[in-house]
Structure 1
Amino acid sequence: MTTAPPTPPDTDAVAFVAALRHLKTWSGLSYRQLERRAAEAGHVLPYSTAATMLGRDRLPRAELVAAFVAACGVRADEAEAWLDARVTIACGRPAETVRTTPNRGLRRPRWAFALAAALATALLGGASAAGAFIDDIEVEKTRTSLHLSG
């Protein structure tokens, strides 16, 4: 370990797990050795869990990332960068960052879609309650037809 450890990407889960694989290679440790070193650092990281984590392209849980980077020999400040990158991927980038990212176009935050759906539901519910969609009641009361007689 004469070189610096790899840095974590904060782009997506696939790149993050690929960087974790690179970190394992950088450490030069086996899965069993990682399990022992994690235990020495006060973490729980079964070797099978570490192997499964690196075999998938899903974002691992934060406690697994903390245990793994500690076992690989990453310093505390660098380990914090791994956890920060994981949070950024899991929660998404702030809206300002997403909007200014090149080649991604404008994206609306998720709350905007939820607000639009709630507003549409309220408007349709109000129109329905006001009778805008209920013509049968007026036909019954007035005993008329909605169709023009010819």
Structure 2
Amino acid sequence: MENQDGPALSEVRDPAGFIESMRRLKQQSGLTYRELEERAAQVGDVLPRSTLADVLRRTTLPPPNLLAAFVRACGHDQHTGTWLSTRRQIAAGLDSLPMDERGPAPSAAVVSEPRTEVIEQTIRASPHRTKRSAFIAGAALGILLTGGLVWWLMDGEDGQNTPASRTPTGGWVTIRSASIPDLCLTDGRDRSGGYSSAVAVQLPCAQAPVPRTYLEPMGEGLHRIQWHHPVEGKGCLTVMSSGAGKGLIEPRENCAQGTLFRLRPTTAGGPEGFQLRPSTGTLCIGLTDDGTTEGAAAREEPCTNSPDQRFLVRASP
């Protein structure tokens, strides 16, 4: 198989040449990063545009599942096996080199060089299944990240939530529905179909081990909510202000532009918890379907005392 204006993929021998071939394939497709992400989502693949852009700027091999999703999104599904085979051969060649000749290590946002066939067997799995498998491959990264954990008294010794007036100071957390504590905010899709990229939804906590949520104190009672994924890297939750996803919450790679949230303790008219209020404006974060169903999306809406606007913020080991 050949790329336009470039050598046959079988002639590529190093990561830099491999990434250059990926760039050519994207150029041939004529698709933007957003369009590639959307096409991947249509067949159940996960291809975050920010992560793909980062991969194509570097000279290190991409993860197999991201590569497969990229090739399929470009319309070359029949050549996916060839791309994976070539990547595997280049990776094997790097393993035979001395450490000082292997080139720069990949960033923490891209987990490269998985060593088991299990990873490649997940390339056609659903988004959440793929992420769970990628999480296994990136377990070491998660262990390292826990070194900065900041704890506070949110959960008593008996496992019950302590008074909501104890505002969290920061650290690894889960953000749960106060009405249905078994449901956590995590990444998913807007069920209305109006917006195809990943957004914040509530799903069973046991089924959503990644991304991990980190609450970053920003001063003056404000927090930035980070998602850490072993493959997609770090993203900061951002309330979208325009377009098809207006009001929904999307993880963005550029945390400097992420939304700052104020966690306001509330007990009036319902269970204890916090209202999540974007620092700009007077609105709150609530859940569609009154927060009573799995997959309900989080979105900006007028503040009320309704249960769907109450969240538990619990320390996570």
With normalisation by structure 1, the TM-score equals 0.56
CA contact (8 A) 1:16 1:59 kept: yes
In structure 2, C-alpha distance between the alignment counterparts of 1:37 and 1:52, rounded to whole Å: 19
In structure 1, C-alpha distance between the alignment counterparts of 2:33 and 2:46, rounded to whole Å: 13
Larger RCO (CA under 8 A, 6+ residues apart): 1
User: In the comparison of the two structures, how many residue pairs are matched?
Assistant: 90
**Partner of residue 44, structure 1:** 46
Task: String of CA shifts for 1:36-68, please: whole Å, max 9, x gaps.
Answer: 011112210011011001010111111110010
> What amino acid does structure 1 have at the position aligned with 2:49?
Y
* 1:88 maps onto 2:89 in alignment: yes
Q: CA RMSD in A?
A: 2.0
CA contact (8 A) 1:5 1:26 kept: no
CA contact (8 A) 2:2 2:9 kept: no
| % identity of equivalent residues | 44
In structure 1, C-alpha distance between the alignment counterparts of 2:25 and 2:46, rounded to whole Å: 18
- Gaps in structure 2 of 5+ consecutive residues: 97-317
More helix by share: 1
1:75 Cα deviation after fit:
2.8
Q: Secondary structure at the match of 2:46?
A: coil
Q: Secondary structure at the match of 2:85?
A: helix
**Partner of residue 12, structure 1:** 14
1:17 Cα deviation after fit:
0.2
Q: 1:5 to 1:71 in 2, by over 3 A?
A: farther
Q: How does 1:1-150 map to 2 (within 5 A)?
A: 6=3, 7-9=8-10, 10-76=12-78, 78-92=79-93
List 4+ stretches of structure 1 deviating above 3 A. Answer: none
Q: Secondary structure at the match of 1:92?
A: helix
In structure 2, C-alpha distance between the alignment counterparts of 1:86 and 1:54, rounded to whole Å: 15
In structure 2, C-alpha distance between the alignment counterparts of 1:41 and 1:83, rounded to whole Å: 19
In structure 2, C-alpha distance between the alignment counterparts of 1:5 and 1:72, rounded to whole Å: 14
> What amino acid does structure 1 have at the position aligned with 2:26?
K
With normalisation by structure 2, the TM-score equals 0.27
Q: Secondary structure at the match of 2:9?
A: coil
Q: 1:58 to 1:49 in 2, by over 3 A?
A: same
CA contact (8 A) 2:15 2:59 kept: yes
